[in-house]
Structure 1
Amino acid sequence: MKNEFRSWTEVGVFLAVVRSGSTLAASRQLGMAQPTVARRIEALEHELGVTLFERDTRGFRPTETARAILQNAEEIEAAATCLAQTVETLRSTRPIRITAYSGNFSPRVATIFSEFSLLRPDVSFEFLPSVEVLDLSAGEADVALRVTRSPPHPDLICRKISTARYALFGSRSYAEKHGLPSSVEDLFNHTFVSFLREGVASAYHDWLIRYAKADQIRQTYSEIDLMHAAIRSGHGLGIMNVKLAESDDTLIQCFAPLEEMNSEHLMLIAPEAYRRPEVKAFAKFFAPRYAAIFR
């Protein structure tokens, strides 16, 4: 044999003809036309350079060569079956890994996951709450729910969810003691809390530094949730996502949203992950329902 063997799919046809005794019976077993079965046997014989069957009116009788390679063919069949089973096991047990800021995994969002799980109980999820940007292309996660002012990598599957808006908020207890500013120009008598973390965009802190003095920023946190807790506790004013803050009646928005902080709220999917049928089905189900929460 001069060329490398490539007719792996013909091995199954060969075994079907050996076991059934004819191309007609094999065609019924394989679900293909009889002439197609005969052509594929001829193609296999041509590639191997041997005769595998004696043809007569009683059917196809395996030659001595066919009987000699029968065990090898059955080993190929067993390996292919094992491969398919392994892939199916990996596919069915591998969770969809989703990364987002923890606040995005709200009860309303959790309901969408629950509804999808009722439809697809075979699909599981792994949640990776983080403000850090995980690399989807490198396989650090499959799906990201991300708020950003930078364009995403062009290779990522992208669905815009909404425009995220931000505003300055204070607690009711802070307002009772110090009042609230009515505009950017009215910040000089107030104290602030901020978020700053290495490796994460510093938009919150940059805005405060631009419009307030450094000594007015009394506390700086490396976790957004801690900053939010400080705002609610009345330790200072701070910037929050308008949509996430609107359901908290302990907070008061000081003035109109800060237009310069508008960001794109995106659902991003790694191309490799999107090729998985369950990820594609999840994205189709989840995206419109998730977007409806932010309208």
Structure 2
Amino acid sequence: MDWRSVTFDWNRARAFLVTAEEGSLSAAARALGLAQPTLGRQVEALEAELGVALFERTGRGLRLTPSGHELLAHARIMGEGARALSLSAWGQSEALEGEVAISASDAYASYLLPPILERLHAAEPRIRIEVVVSNDLSDLSRREADIAVRNVRPTEPDLIARKIREARARLYAAPGYLDRCGRTAAGGPISGASFIDIDEQGSLMKLLNTQGFALTEADFPYRCRNFAVMWEMVRRGLGIGILDDRIGDADPSVERAVPGFTPITFPVWLVAHRDMARSRRLRVVFDALAKGLA
């Protein structure tokens, strides 16, 4: 390759790419942690180096020129290459210090991760942990997290995963609530008990009805998309909820609401980016999570 043919500053190309992606200089400056005038000068300098206008200045901000549109595709390739280089370099680190971000659902982040992280910190105090709480799948390729606890096996080729266990979800309620609504001879709640739904699709009602329940929307006076909040509602006696039995059975303020209920099983996967698996810091955290969640 004739490196003399590259006549522009690569850092200025990043300024152009982020400005185009974010849609304005102010948004791009925030994304890069730069002052807006500084970023603007970088974009203008790139235009001068390339000899083309990349943006049209309008009353509402910036708009890509035809030349800008054409060069943006090349800038995106450069950005992906820079991101891949950063990931690979990060993965080579052998230092047991620095930050590792862990993505987990609100229930796992609230009830299962804290004791694991406490033990990890006692063993490796220089590793800093960020807990990314999300019930959606974090994009590990884009560094939304370094490690993710998931309930589905990843399909992306650049991710590695270890199946930790088959978890079981059971129905729980506060003892006082079951005392108020009554119990069947088998120990479960009588008809007329209230349930707390977990999403707009009525997933819990559908699951329970496949097991012989005859529930309608009237049996679900509450709905909550956050499992940790739902669990607090269960503990306060608002109704019956469903949760991983490692959490439910360990909580003395609740009990299994329907002892004969067949638990819902689901897998627990630990996922990381393939390049990052070469990082000693990441391996230590990954293994601590695997041991603690197993």
Q: Same fold (TM over 0.5)?
A: yes
Count of residues in correspondence between the two structures: 201
2:250 pairs, out of 206, 229, 247, with 247
CA apart distance, 1:94 = 5.2
* 1:269 is aligned to 2:272: yes
- State the AA in 1 paired with 2:104: A
**2:153 aligned partner:** 151
- State the AA in 1 paired with 2:139: D
CA apart distance, 1:186 = 7.3
Q: Percent identity?
A: 19
Q: Given the superposition, is the C-alpha separation of residues 214 and 111 from structure 1 closer, same or farther in structure 2, using an over 3 Å criterion?
A: closer
**2:169 aligned partner:** 166
Counterparts of 1:176 and 1:118, CA distance in 2: 43
* Contact persistence 1:97–1:125 (CA under 8 A): yes
Instruction: Write out the 4+ residue segments of structure 1 that deviate beyond 6 Å after TM superposition.
Output: none
**2:231 aligned partner:** 228
- State the AA in 2 paired with 1:252: E
Counterparts of 2:133 and 2:241, CA distance in 1: 22
Q: Find the residue that maps to 1:288 and give its secondary structure.
A: helix
- State the AA in 1 paired with 2:140: L
Superimposed CA distance per residue, residues 22-44 of structure 1 (whole angstroms, 9 cap, x where no aligned partner): xxxxxxxxxxxxxxxxxxxxxxx
* Contact persistence 1:96–1:124 (CA under 8 A): yes
* Contact persistence 2:195–2:219 (CA under 8 A): yes
* Contact persistence 2:106–2:226 (CA under 8 A): no
CA apart distance, 1:144 = 0.9
* Contact persistence 1:98–1:141 (CA under 8 A): yes
* Contact persistence 1:173–1:233 (CA under 8 A): no
**1:126 aligned partner:** 130
**1:207 aligned partner:** 207
Per the normalisation by structure 1, the TM-score is 0.57
Q: Find the residue that maps to 2:144 and give its secondary structure.
A: coil
1:102 pairs, out of 101, 106, 113, with 106
**1:116 aligned partner:** 120
Superimposed CA distance per residue, residues 187-230 of structure 1 (whole angstroms, 9 cap, x where no aligned partner): 642221111169xxx74353246531111111111211221122
Counterparts of 2:98 and 2:170, CA distance in 1: 39
CA apart distance, 1:265 = 1.2
Q: Given the superposition, is the C-alpha separation of residues 176 and 267 from structure 1 closer, same or farther in structure 2, using an over 3 Å criterion?
A: same
C-alpha RMSD of matched pairs (Å) = 3.3
* Contact persistence 2:171–2:261 (CA under 8 A): yes
* 1:284 is aligned to 2:282: no
**1:78 aligned partner:** none
* Contact persistence 1:158–1:267 (CA under 8 A): yes
**1:9 aligned partner:** none
- State the AA in 2 paired with 1:172: P
| Structure 2: stretches of 5+ with no match in the other structure | 4-88
Per the normalisation by structure 2, the TM-score is 0.58
Counterparts of 1:94 and 1:266, CA distance in 2: 24
Q: Find the residue that maps to 2:291 and give its secondary structure.
A: helix
CA apart distance, 1:109 = 4.0
- Name which one, 1 or 2, has greater alpha-carbon Rg: 1
> Which stretch has the larger CA shift, 189-198 or 161-170?
189-198
Q: Given the superposition, is the C-alpha separation of residues 154 and 289 from structure 1 closer, same or farther in structure 2, using an over 3 Å criterion?
A: same
* Contact persistence 2:171–2:242 (CA under 8 A): yes
**1:72 aligned partner:** none
* Contact persistence 1:195–1:205 (CA under 8 A): no
Counterparts of 1:182 and 1:96, CA distance in 2: 50
In the TM superposition, 1:18-97 aligns within 5 A as: 95-97=99-101
Q: Find the residue that maps to 1:165 and give its secondary structure.
A: strand
* Contact persistence 1:167–1:256 (CA under 8 A): no
Counterparts of 2:172 and 2:180, CA distance in 1: 15
Q: Given the superposition, is the C-alpha separation of residues 248 and 122 from structure 1 closer, same or farther in structure 2, using an over 3 Å criterion?
A: closer
CA apart distance, 1:118 = 4.4
